Chains A and B, each alone.
Chain A
Amino acid sequence: MQFEIIAIEAGVSRVVLSGRADAAAVDGVEAALNAQIHASGGHVVLDLAGVPFMGSLGIRLLISLARTVARRSARIAMTGVQPQVLEVFETMALLDLIPHAPDHEAALALLAG
């Protein structure tokens, strides 16, 4: 799994995750991603279009990101979640924590809201 963080506008970062988020893959990126999100400041849009599988440690990573962002009183949203991953998120009620928007603009609207 890989990630890329793009500062898209003042106070908003877009985090693009790609690849299977299984235990080994999450292990490889968790520390670096957490550190960079911690340092980034502002709101976060997670782009998960390139993630075909999200295991329990991948979900833990997202929860941890959401908590980091919430602690600085910023907001987090996600876009592009693939249907099979969305089903897992719904079972976990994860969308209560990180709302899902159909596209990037809608995600920005959620952050502004």
Chain B
Amino acid sequence: MNEPTDGTERTMVSRAAVPNGPVDDTVVHSLVLEAEGTTPSRHPLADVPLIVGRVVPAAIVLEGSAVSRRHCMIDRAGDLVRVTDLGSTNGTYVDGTRVGEPVFLADGALIQVGPHTLRYERRRREEALAAASLASDIARARDYVNALLPPPISDGPVQAAWIFQPCAALGGDAFGYHRDGDWFHAYILDVAGHGVGAAMHSVSVMNVMRQQALPGTDTRDPAAVLAALNDMFDMEKHHGMYFTMWYGVLHVPSRRLAYAAAGHHAAVLHVPATGEVRALPARGAGIGTMPGYAYRAAMVELPAGGRLHLFSDGAVELAEDVAEPWGMAQVTGTLCAPAAAWAEGPERLYRQVRRLSGARPLDDDFSVLTLQLA
């Protein structure tokens, strides 16, 4: 181990208790910080201690009032890694237990610092390289999905606001909308499964929808669109992947909405002027699950000023041990809160889900799309 010679705080840490274990240089030790919407950041542990805190010169700087300026220190002793709390106000936790004396870390240990969680990873060098390569693929796939999402619309007869927060592994969510003369098309989809494969499946569907590449299909008929996609994306021909989808076409002058769904959550209609909130449920097989399935479209006339909320599993299905019950009723209640600016609904719902999930990263993509009629 290199002894710092500059007299900085690093030298203040006693290493007397650290056993000098054997150094295995085929092993890579890392701390992984996961945050929604970004690539997990990976911090290799070198021989010098690494400080975690709210301000530089901490090597890992974490935001939040619950993080102390110098919160904890992680250092290596040969082949072992330990965490030492540096007298932080709110404590450092390893796998849920507050750190008193320095704690040696097992592979996969979760270090909690305020609202943030760092995962300790111990990998053989070749496994670490493979993991880095996968992380890079995931980052590229996420960027690709992001690049295909349409920009929000802030004026005109149909406006749109959304939030898309992919989970670390990517969850296969996608959505889109476009104007076609007097018609406005919108959809949301959610591929079953996680990873680059699920995200690339959603990208394939987005590209078909963007290019309107459904031969012989009236794209103003939602049932026909879902049937054509069901034919094109049979799960047997796509590595067993299927997706749920909601698709709607609004005739803007008459505000008549035709919609159909393939196993997706019901869209929620909210009329702020009257306080009306109602689900627009539609039954239908997941896309790719049942060849030849006959989808049925429903029709509803939207009132002037009405809002339509579409969302994915990640908004509704949280881990079973979150602090409060969560489901469709809570999602609807949060999105349709009275006297709120319409475009803030998706963000408000995300903040609520984030709060309930605590430090834990979300384990599915979170997507909410809100359409506002003039």
Q: Name the residue of chain A whose CB is nearest to the CB of B290.
A: A97
Alpha-carbon distance A94/B284, docked complex (angstroms): 9
Question: In the complex, how many angstroms separate the beta carbon of B262 from the nearest chain A beta carbon?
Answer: 8
Pick from B194, B236, B283, B286: contact of A23, CB under 8 Å: B194
A residues 57-113 near B (Cβ < 8 Å) are 57, 59-60, 63-64, 67, 90-94, 96-97
Pick from A53, A55, A93: contact of B263, CB under 8 Å: A93
Cβ-defined contact, B193 with A60, below 8 A: yes
Contact with B along A6-27 (1 / 0, CB 8 A): 0000000000000010010000
Pick from B194, B236, B281, B317: contact of A91, CB under 8 Å: B281
Alpha-carbon distance A67/B290, docked complex (angstroms): 10
Contacts of A92 in B (CB 8 A): 244, 263, 283-286, 289
Contacts of A55 in B (CB 8 A): 313, 317
B residues 259-313 near A (Cβ < 8 Å) are 261, 263-266, 281, 283-286, 289-290, 293, 313
Cβ-defined contact, B285 with A93, below 8 A: yes
Alpha-carbon distance A5/B286, docked complex (angstroms): 27
Given contacts A92-B244, A97-B290, contact A56 B285 (CB under 8 A): no
Alpha-carbon distance A63/B234, docked complex (angstroms): 12
Pick from A56, A67, A96: contact of B244, CB under 8 Å: A56
Q: Name the residue of chain A whose CB is nearest to the CB of B286.
A: A92
Alpha-carbon distance A57/B317, docked complex (angstroms): 13
Alpha-carbon distance A56/B320, docked complex (angstroms): 16
Contacts of A57 in B (CB 8 A): 192-193
> Any chain A CB within 8 A of the CB of B242?
yes
Cβ-defined contact, B240 with A64, below 8 A: yes
> Any chain A CB within 8 A of the CB of B363?
yes
> Any chain A CB within 8 A of the CB of B235?
yes
Question: In the complex, how many angstroms separate the beta carbon of B280 from the nearest chain A beta carbon?
Answer: 12
> Any chain A CB within 8 A of the CB of B85?
no
Q: Name the residue of chain B whose CB is nearest to the CB of A67.
A: B236
Question: In the complex, how many angstroms separate the beta carbon of B63 from the nearest chain A beta carbon?
Answer: 29
Q: Chain A at the B interface: mostly helix, strand, loop or mixed?
A: helix
Alpha-carbon distance A14/B175, docked complex (angstroms): 40
Contacts of A67 in B (CB 8 A): 236
Contacts of B192 in A (CB 8 A): 56-57, 59-60
Contacts of B242 in A (CB 8 A): 60, 63
Question: In the complex, how many angstroms separate the beta carbon of A3 from the nearest chain B beta carbon?
Answer: 19
Contacts of B281 in A (CB 8 A): 91
> Any chain A CB within 8 A of the CB of B190?
yes
Pick from A20, A23, A96: contact of B290, CB under 8 Å: A96
Alpha-carbon distance A96/B317, docked complex (angstroms): 24
Given contacts A59-B286, A60-B193, contact A93 B313 (CB under 8 A): no
Cβ-defined contact, A63 with B235, below 8 A: yes
Contacts of B289 in A (CB 8 A): 63, 92, 94, 97
Given contacts A23-B363, A60-B192, A63-B235, contact A90 B240 (CB under 8 A): no
Question: In the complex, how many angstroms separate the beta carbon of A82 from the nearest chain B beta carbon?
Answer: 14
Contacts of B264 in A (CB 8 A): 91
Contacts of B320 in A (CB 8 A): 20, 53
Cβ-defined contact, A56 with B290, below 8 A: no
Contacts of B263 in A (CB 8 A): 59, 91-93
Cβ-defined contact, B283 with A90, below 8 A: yes
Question: In the complex, how many angstroms separate the beta carbon of A91 from the nearest chain B beta carbon?
Answer: 6
Question: In the complex, how many angstroms separate the beta carbon of B283 from the nearest chain A beta carbon?
Answer: 6
Contacts of A94 in B (CB 8 A): 285, 289
Alpha-carbon distance A53/B363, docked complex (angstroms): 16
Q: Name the residue of chain B whose CB is nearest to the CB of A55.
A: B317
Alpha-carbon distance A102/B236, docked complex (angstroms): 30
Contacts of A60 in B (CB 8 A): 192-193, 235, 240, 242
Cβ-defined contact, B190 with A56, below 8 A: yes
Given contacts A20-B320, A55-B313, A57-B193, contact A93 B244 (CB under 8 A): no
Sample of 16 more A-B contacts, CB < 8 Å, known A23-B193, A60-B240, A97-B289:
A20-B320, A55-B313, A56-B190, A56-B192, A56-B244, A59-B263, A60-B193, A64-B240, A91-B264, A91-B266, A92-B244, A92-B286, A93-B263, A93-B283, A96-B293, A97-B285
Q: List 26 A-B residue pairs with CB atoms under 8 Å apart, sorted by A's residue number.
A: A20-B320, A23-B193, A23-B194, A55-B313, A55-B317, A56-B190, A56-B313, A57-B192, A57-B193, A60-B193, A63-B235, A63-B286, A63-B289, A64-B240, A90-B283, A91-B263, A91-B266, A92-B244, A92-B286, A94-B285, A94-B289, A96-B285, A96-B290, A96-B293, A97-B289, A97-B290
